[in-house]
């Protein structure tokens, strides 16, 4: 089976331990992102399920990079100096393996002699259950739209159109934040993390990267999770199809 130019990453739901627990007090200056040792529970199951659904619809295989080390030891969605205890060689190895895996898969999706885009979706569990006082199903982050630049350069209207990801998800009755696609470019606290910033269009000219955070209540309930995985796969495939 051939591959589709689509990579799912999942940094925060590994379960394997290492030798040294990451401590906030040991991080160097500049590590300002929220510090937590809590895993995004069921995010890896959700990621695999979305990828399986994509394979069924497209008859092509998406790439996946799913962290196996517990977040207590490595936070794969942070820059290297903030991601693990400096004295742990095993943590460094795990971090580099994860990011090298992503880089190799991106290289494979974007050969120099071809045009077209490739897509990365970074799948998380949302920390909060409410946003602006309201419940939600999925939060979207695009680094103030920098990480989708490769896409909007080709078609400036697609992100806000009925075929943009937010409108497609809403068409399946999924409660998305932000509810209006134009809001993803505003500076706000949900602009996505290190992974989409590093690999999104700022870094790789033909890579489109989007962070998706799913509410805990959906992740924890098997039938809701499976339904959302199927709906997310349908929407993601429809959204990316014209560009790959
Ligand atoms: Zn996360």
Q: How far is the CA of 11 from the centre of ligand 1 (A)?
A: 6
SS (H, E, C) 58-99: HCCEEEEEECCECCCCECCCCCHHHHECCCCHHHHHHHHHHH
Q: Over the stretch 100-129, which tens digit does the pLDDT of each residue have?
A: 999 999 999 998 888 889 999 999 999 999
CB-based burial, 7-26: b 16+ in 10 Å, e otherwise = bbbbbbbbeeebebebeeee
Distance 1 CA to ligand 1 centre (A): 30
**Cα-to-centroid distance, 56 and ligand 1 (Å):** 26
Q: Is the dihedral of CA 213, 217, 220, 223 positive or negative?
A: negative
174-187 as b/e, with b when 16 or more CB fall inside 10 Å?
bebbbeebeebbee
Task: Tell me, in angstroms, the distance from the centre of ligand 1 to residue 180's CA.
Answer: 23
If one counts the domains in the chain, the total is 1
CA 35 / ligand 1 centre spacing (Å): 11
131: CATH: 3.40.630.40
Q: How far is the CA of 192 from the centre of ligand 1 (A)?
A: 10
Distance between Cα 45 and ligand 1 center (Å)? 14
Per-residue confidence (pLDDT) for residue 113, from 0 to 100: 81
For residue 118, the enclosing domain spans 3-243
| 152-206 pLDDT per residue, tens | 999 999 999 999 999 999 999 999 999 999 999 988 767 899 999 999 977 668 9
Cα(112) to centroid(ligand 1), Å: 31
pTM confidence score: 0.97
| 65 CA → ligand 1 middle, Å | 14
């Amino acid at each position: 089976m051939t591959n589709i130019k689509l990579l799912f990453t999942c940094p925060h739901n590994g379960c394997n331990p290492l030798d040294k627990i990451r401590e906030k007090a040991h991080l160097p200056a500049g590590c300002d992102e929220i510090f937590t040792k809590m895993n995004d529970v069921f995010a890896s199951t959700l990621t695999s399920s979305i990828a399986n659904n994509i394979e069924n619809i497209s008859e092509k295989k998406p790439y996946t990079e799913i962290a196996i080390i517990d977040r207590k030891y490595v936070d794969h969605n942070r820059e290297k100096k903030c991601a693990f205890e400096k004295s742990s060689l095993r943590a460094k190895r795990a971090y580099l393996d994860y990011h090298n895996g992503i880089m190799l898969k991106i290289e494979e999706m974007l050969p120099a002699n071809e045009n077209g885009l490739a897509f990365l979706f970074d799948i998380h569990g949302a920390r909060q259950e409410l946003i602006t006082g309201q419940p939600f199903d999925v939060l979207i982050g695009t680094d103030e739209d920098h990480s989708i630049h490769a896409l909007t350069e080709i078609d400036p209207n697609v992100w806000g159109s009925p075929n943009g990801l937010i409108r497609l998800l809403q068409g399946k009755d999924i409660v998305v934040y932000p509810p209006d696609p134009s809001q993803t470019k505003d500076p706000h606290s949900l602009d996505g993390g290190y992974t989409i910033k590093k690999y999104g269009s700022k870094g790789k000219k033909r890579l489109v990267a989007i962070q998706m955070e799913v509410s805990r209540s959906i992740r924890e309930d098997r039938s809701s999770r499976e339904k959302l995985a199927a709906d997310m796969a349908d929407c993601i495939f429809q959204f990316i199809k014209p560009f790959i």
